[in-house]
Structure 1
Amino acid sequence: MLNDRSTVHEFLSLSKLLAFPGELSESTSIDFSFPNVEKPYESYIGINIKLRYFLRLTIIKRFSNNVFERDICVQQLSQYPEINNSIKMEVGIEDCLHIEFEYNKSKYHLKDVIVGKIYFLLVRIKIKHMEIAIIKKENTGTGPNI
């Protein structure tokens, strides 16, 4: 699935006939609605996967068809739990290096700023380089490694 760019799974499809065959000779407005449509997943655009909801309008003509698409962004809004404890993590090399990381909370909003501290509790080796990184990881497929 990761390397197959042509794999498309359509998990929702509803259609309605907006107009019967005939001729439109003037500007026309046609109302439509799709009530109570289940949208169980949020819209998502990633490196390997794109999940989108969209409206597709197809106008069928004698010699060619016109197809127009408009994306709809779906976001599941929910209340976050009040408990958002800080995180502490310890790493090190026995009797040589002991580092403690502390983050101000365990859950972040997409627009939050991550604030933390790094404590060097024991340093008995030379440190040439140190960095911290935020890594975005996408997993697809099934199995225990996901």
Structure 2
Amino acid sequence: MITHYDIKMEMQKLKEVLSVEGVNIPSLLQVIKPGTYVFLWVLLWPTFLRLVSVKSDVRDVGFDICASGMMGFLLFVAITNGMMLYLAIPDSFRKDSKIINFMYSKSKTYILLFLIVFSMVSFMHSILYVFALMITFILFFLVYT
């Protein structure tokens, strides 16, 4: 369990580490790789399902792909921002910090859970799919924050 005292002590330790070691500047590929994987999954999975489906209307397929692309881009930006902040913290502090490890594992769990729910939502019909996608995105956003 993480208490207020733990947070206070780790922030003091982080200040000391940052004053001595400074901030890491991670490589661009290292920062955008997880976000790119999520973006491609969110964009390509519904595209594959809609193009394999025989009963799909072209307008519905295009609308679904655009909606998936917008949600994927929002996730890409959020994940890239989180990875940039996470990787900017010195490696020695990242490995020892209970709070940083908790937040990182929480983020990974929520993203994986979102992708699983998203994969199931993708089987829905076009308009219902977009509505369910927005509801899923909003619920995960509210739960995560």
- Name the structure where helix makes up a greater proportion of residues: 2
Q: Which has the higher contact order (CA 8 A, sep 6+)?
A: 2
Structure with the largest fraction of strand: 1
- Shorter-chain TM-score bucket reads under 0.3
Give the TM-score taking structure 1 as reference length. 0.27
TM-score normalised to structure 2 length: 0.28
